[in-house]
Amino acid sequence: MNAGEAVAAQAGGVDGAKNNAGEMQKKDKPARKTEATDTPEKFKATLADLDEQRTALAKSAIEQLKPGRPFDPVVVRQINKIETKKNRLIVSRFASLLRKNNPAVQAIVHQIIEI
C-alpha cells in the first residue's frame, strides 16, 4: 500500500478519496472556453464565418446545376452540418448567458427564446 492509499484508507477508503478529489476538481474547474463563451465580437465573427461557408457551398451547388448533370446531395449534407453547428453555437451562447445569474441578462435571454 503506498502513502496515497494509506491516507485514503484512513479518510474512508480509496473510492471516498477519489470522490473527494473529483468534487474538488469540479469546484476549481473554470468554465470551458468555447466560441459561445468568447467575447461578443468573436461570437459574431464565428457566426459570420459559418454564414460565409454556407453561402459559398450554396453558390457552388447552384453553379454546378446544369441540364443532364446529376445533383450532388453531399452539398446539402455539408450545408446542414454548417447550419447544425451554427444552431448549437447559438444555443450554447444562450446557455452561457443564463449561467451568469444576472437577472437582467436572464430576462433578455428568455424574451429572445420566446420569440
pLDDT score for 34: 63
Cβ atoms of 34 and 92 closer than 8 Å: yes
Closest to 53 measured CA to CA, from 65, 42, 45, 43: 45
How does pLDDT run across 7-66, given as a tens digit for each residue?
444 444 444 444 444 444 444 445 556 665 678 888 899 999 999 999 999 998 888 888
